[in-house]
Amino acid sequence: MFDVLVYLYETYWRPDACPDPAQLQRKLTAMGFERDDIQDALTWLDGLAASAQAVQSQSRASSVRVYTDDELDHLGEASIGFIRFLATAGVLPPPMREVVIDRAMAVGGSPMALEDLKIIVLMVFWSLGEEPDALILDELFVDPEDRLIH
């Protein structure tokens, strides 16, 4: 599913640039993606669209987030730490953070791989028509081992 999401991000500059679901499914199939991955991604994107629409009317005031036991188990330490990092850096306001958590909880597997969470964060920005700044893109795309220290 995450390969499909990355393809959509790289191919379409915003969600409304995507073709209708039936045409998109045909295109993704022609690109060689598995049917189950395509269906999972499209279902996940429907949930993202609903969450993103709800966020656009919410305030960006600060808040404290207390994670449920299910969220702690599902997200894992690395993902929660990354979410906190983004929130503390001021690039992931509370409403967007909630969308990230909601969409992460909609994906199977525990604990969530940090690389998968980074794709989710990227897709949340994409769905809201916002582009993360260069430093955040660096965090989302570059492995820490590959960074050059000057």
Retrieve residue 145's tokens: 């081992």
- Residue 35: the pLDDT is 95
| pLDDT number for residue 57 | 63
Sequential DSSP letters for 28-40: HHHTT--HHHHHH
Q: Global pTM?
A: 0.82
| Amino acid 41: pLDDT | 94
Residues of the chain with pLDDT under 70: 56-62, 141-150
| C-alpha 77: how far from chain center | 17
Q: What pLDDT is attached to residue 73?
A: 95
Q: Give the pLDDT confidence score for residue 15 in this predicted structure.
A: 84
Which domain covers residue 41, as residue numbers? 2-146
CA distances to 32, 83, 116, 135 from 78, rounded to whole Å, are: 32, 9, 11, 19
Q: Are 2 and 116 in contact (CB under 8 A)?
A: yes
Tally the domains of the chain: 1
- Quote the pLDDT of residue 59: 61
pLDDT, residue 82, reads: 94
In the prediction, which pLDDT does 132 show? 77
